[in-house]
Chains A and B, each alone.
Chain A
Amino acid sequence: SQQGEEDPQALSIQEGENATMNCSYKTSINNLQWYRQNSGRGLVHLILIRSNEREKHSGRLRVTLDTSKKSSSLLITASRAADTASYFCATVQLGAQKLVFGQGTRLTINP
């Protein structure tokens, strides 16, 4: 079952602005991952953050994890039109193999 909730469901901003997406989950996790999906395409793995990590950076991406609140955020700085896509968080529960995906955020970057 889906355990992740993401907000906002849709986000539209101007190119150059920062975009922040949030993800909440319900159970204890081993790690949390963020993925990007362009329309009608497969998933691209962006970043993985372990349960004992609080923040991670990768290029223009910054991910935070608050296990006490069971939430994570993805920040994309200096957005570009090419960042337009759907973004999903996914969690791996303790002792499990499978990924449980959130509902996703549809991000639109306006040129």
Chain B
Amino acid sequence: GAVVSQHPSWVICKSGTSVKIECRSLDFQATTMFWYRQFPKQSLMLMATSNEGSKATYEQGVEKDKFLINHASLTLSTLTVTSAHPEDSSFYICSASSGQSSYNEQFFGPGTRLTVL
């Protein structure tokens, strides 16, 4: 149980275009989803936390108008990178929490590699 999927697993796009990444919890309801970004050979940096049905909470330094997050259902959250530029190229990972664990256990997706040309 506790499987999280991401789609696509990789995407290449031209500079200036927008890219949408989906994160799905397959066998549980995710009240909270998290989006992380990871640059090569670096650690995961939390971008934002989204709770189903409410606006996402962005970490300091993350532009909410550039990284649009929608968490419209208990099994799906999307991250849209708007007007992507080469510096947005990164590995984007989502995680999901059911909120039922007292330790707020998160289950991670396999990640999406974004390359902006």
A79 within 8 A of B: no
Please tell me which one of the listed residues A1, A40, A99, A100 contacts residue B91 in the complex, with CB atoms under 8 A apart. Answer: A40
Contacts of B113 in A (CB 8 A): 40
CB-CB contacts of B99-117 with A at 8 A, as 1s and 0s?
Answer: 0000111111111010000
Shortest distance between the CB of B44 and any CB in chain A (Å): 5
CB-CB contacts of A75-96 with B at 8 A, as 1s and 0s?
Answer: 0000000000000100010000
Shortest distance between the CB of B47 and any CB in chain A (Å): 11
With contacts A88-B43, A98-B34, A101-B43 taken as known, whether A43 is within 8 angstroms of B93 at the C-beta atoms is yes
Taking a contact as CB atoms under 8 Å apart, the answer to whether A30 and B103 are in contact is yes
A45 within 8 A of B: yes
Known: A31-B103, A97-B97, A101-B44. 17 other contacts (CB 8 A): A1-B60, A2-B45, A30-B103, A30-B104, A40-B113, A41-B110, A41-B111, A43-B93, A48-B105, A88-B43, A88-B44, A92-B103, A98-B46, A98-B49, A99-B34, A99-B95, A104-B43
